[in-house]
Structure 1
Amino acid sequence: MKITTLVPDTEGALAWPPFGQNKRSIVAVGNFDGVHRGHQAVLKRTVDLAKSYGCRSVVILFDPRPEIVRQYAKDHDGAQLPKDETYTDAEALTGIDRRLKLIEEMGIDYAIVIRYTLEFGAKSYQYFLGQLVGKIGLRNLVIGKDARMGAGRAGNVDSIDSIAQATRMFEVDVVDDRGPGEVRVPLTDSDETAEALDKVNDPDSGLTKAERRALSKKTPNRLVRAWSSSYVRYLLSRGRVDEAAEILGRPHVVEGVVVGGKQRGRTLGFPTANVAGDVQGYMPADGVYAGWLVDVDPETGEERRYPSAISIGTKVTFGEPEARVLEAYAIAPLGEDGKPEWLDLYGHHTRVEFVKFLRPQVHFDGADELVAELRRNVEQTRDICK
């Protein structure tokens, strides 16, 4: 997949790459944060149409996410989001590199990454569609049912299709990317509101329609698509990584570089890899999880996978409540001496995959209690990941 990054000028205009006139393009546009099953449906349709018509398949995505740019401007008197590394999008499910890798795996030919700016966001959807037709030879625009684009998000499916019908320059292909309807997520983060809306969302909860409606009105919430980045983000924020994986079509992942720590885990018999160094991906709720640590060889790109007990949270047992960290105890194979092999992962780029929530973070009275619980968590992980 060929990747091109475009940075708008001060007026929001783009210098589009020369695609040539010998082929037209089937284009999908969006954030594709998480590349969940709804996104995958759009991408698959894009690839299928491109093959059918002998066209190139093109994905246009935005980095940073438009909502982050707009929110930053709102919070900083209309200022543009900084271009350097001083601002991290902690709400993004996937970093841009991960998104592009997943999109490439779907068979897309070209990816155009547009750095979203306020000036670019001020362009109308009519202007943007004209650019797609004139600059990259748009034949079919593939979008989800709730897609919107352009200034004020004014370009919805109906208005975009009206332009297509009037100009006959391109066609609109609408994909049902919503999954099994809509679900409600709470506006406040508490166990009580989450439990109440779980009952509202569950058709087998035993509630009548009237009871479900009353509980919904009582609990502040908003509707989101069942297949959406918003709902995946909510599930992860509650530690429900297995449910999030069903929507993503794979385990949720964060990536980062293994850095040195205080090596307290080694003294306890559980040496952990501290994953830090510009972590990419949404960090699930504090707790202990079963999953995988994937070590990526920096030279060959070869991957080695280890079942891992993963901890996210603060080290309150040792009086260090201020820093939220991710540590993974990789269950290494046994060596000739019958002991687990030592894994030297310092400086390695790693991927952490979350499979199942094991327990919340708790305060232990001492190291002995902690070690006993860690042993239990490791055995749970072996069983889950075997």
Structure 2
Amino acid sequence: MHRWTRLDDVPADLGPTVATLGNFDGVHRGHLAVIDTVTSIARERGLAAVAVTFDPHPVAVLHPERAPKSICGLEHRLELLEEAGLDGVVVVEFTREYARLTPEDFVVQTFVRGLRSQVVVIGHDSRFGLHNSGDADTMRELGEQHGFEVVVPGTVGETQDGVRSWSSTALREAIVEGEVEEAAEILGRLHRVSGEVVHGYKRGRDLGYPTANLSADSEGLVPADGVYAGWLERPELPADHPDRRLPAAISVGTNPTFQDVERSVEAYVLDRDDLELYGEVVHVEFVRRLRDNLRFDSVEALMEQMARDVDQTRELLR
């Protein structure tokens, strides 16, 4: 998949395109439904399938005080978009100047001149242009004026029976609340946090449960405090290596028993004390939340609970 950081970098020999736009934060099933429409039309017509996304998130530029933390990092987002079958992605640097483009100026700059789009696929709730004043109806009108077709896929994953919609907002809510199973349903895969393994207090090792502690600048939205069952993946190893993906009991929080104040993510790989992971970048995937973080009156009580957590994790991941 081609990656461009400016529309001017898109080569003319790419030819006409089927294109879409969005933040694609998390690249969840709602996004994938739109992208599937893009790639299907592109393959049928022999055109290139391209997406336009933004970095940083527009809210981080326009209203930094209420900018949401990204569900996944940019590199992970691009990997997921490539897996979805796109031929190229333009990562536009979002600036205040860029935000001042009228809907028509945005469309002409992006789809008419930049990508030479024959078809633009847009989500039913997408917004673009100055003050987010452009919507699907605006895009249809501009398509008629500038000679491209507009496709608006039907809604998918709407809220029903207490299940959240397939949206980045609903996904973020589920993760923040620790509902990682619900997050996985929206994503179509397990939610993960990625980061370098760094030295911690080594209390887990002293208790017989050595943990991999992720650095504070890890990528990915960290779930609610608590204990989780999940997996530790080592992307630096070959895909068929037996230690590539390992079952893990995961702790998120501040460790109230020891009155730690720094929030952390740490993963104990079941039945392994021989792993040397310091300095390695790993992915921690969340399967199910087992319990809240608790404060124990003694180290012995903590160890008994940790043993139960490990047993429950082993049974769940079996």
Q: Give the superposition deviation at 1:129.
A: 1.1
2:98 aligned with 1:120, yes or no?
yes
**In the aligned structure 2, how far is the partner of 1:360 from the partner of 1:296?**
29
Q: Tell whether the 8 Å contact from 1:39 to 1:177 is kept in structure 2 after alignment.
A: no
The offset of 1:296, in angstroms, is 2.1
1:170 alignment partner, one of 148, 166, 171: 148
The TM-score with structure 2 as length reference comes to 0.94
Per-residue deviation, residues 279-335 of structure 1 (Å, max 9, x unmatched): 101010000000001012279997701111000000221122x21010000115xxx
Q: Secondary structure at the match of 1:353?
A: strand
Alpha-carbon distance, 1:253 to partner: 0.8
1:9 aligned partner? none
1:359 matched residue in structure 2: 291
Counterpart residue number, 2:71: 93
Q: Sort the Cα spacing of 1:181 and 1:256 in 2 relative to 1 into closer, same or farther, 3 A.
A: same
Q: 1:22 to 1:297 in 2, by over 3 A?
A: closer
Equivalent in the alignment of 2:162: 202
Q: How much is the aligned-residue C-alpha RMSD, in angstroms?
A: 2.1
Q: What count of residue pairs does the alignment treat as equivalent?
A: 316
Find the residue that maps to 2:94 and give its secondary structure. coil
C-alpha distance in 1 between matches for 2:189 and 2:234? 18
Shift of 1:250: 0.6
1:146 paired with 2:138, answer no
SS in 1 for 2:208: coil
The superposition leaves residues 83-131 of structure 1 with CA deviations (integer Å, 9 ceiling, x where unpaired) of xxxxxx7621011011000000011110110111111111111011112
1:180 shift after superposition: 2.1
Counterparts of 1:143 and 1:119, CA distance in 2: 23
Report the structure number with the largest CA radius of gyration: 1
What is the TM-score when the length of structure 1 is the normalising length? 0.78
User: 1:18-77, CA deviations, whole angstroms, 9 ceiling, x for partnerless residues?
Assistant: 4215620111100000101000001111111111111111111011111121112x68xx
In structure 2, what residue type is equivalent to 1:100?
Answer: L
Q: 1:143 touches 1:173 (CA, 8 Å); kept in 2?
A: yes
Task: Say whether residues 1:17 and 2:9 are aligned partners.
Answer: yes
2-structure distance, mates of 1:135, 1:147: 20
3-state DSSP of counterpart to 2:263: strand
Alignment of 1:43-122 (within 5 A): 43-72=35-64, 91-122=69-100
Q: Could you tell me which runs of 5 or more consecutive residues in structure 2 were left unpaired when the two chains were aligned.
A: none
**2:246 aligned with 1:306, yes or no?**
yes
The percentage of counterpart residues that share the same residue type is 39
Contact persistence 2:196–2:282 (CA under 8 A) = yes
Secondary structure of the corresponding residue to residue 160 of structure 1: helix
Corresponding position of 2:305: 373
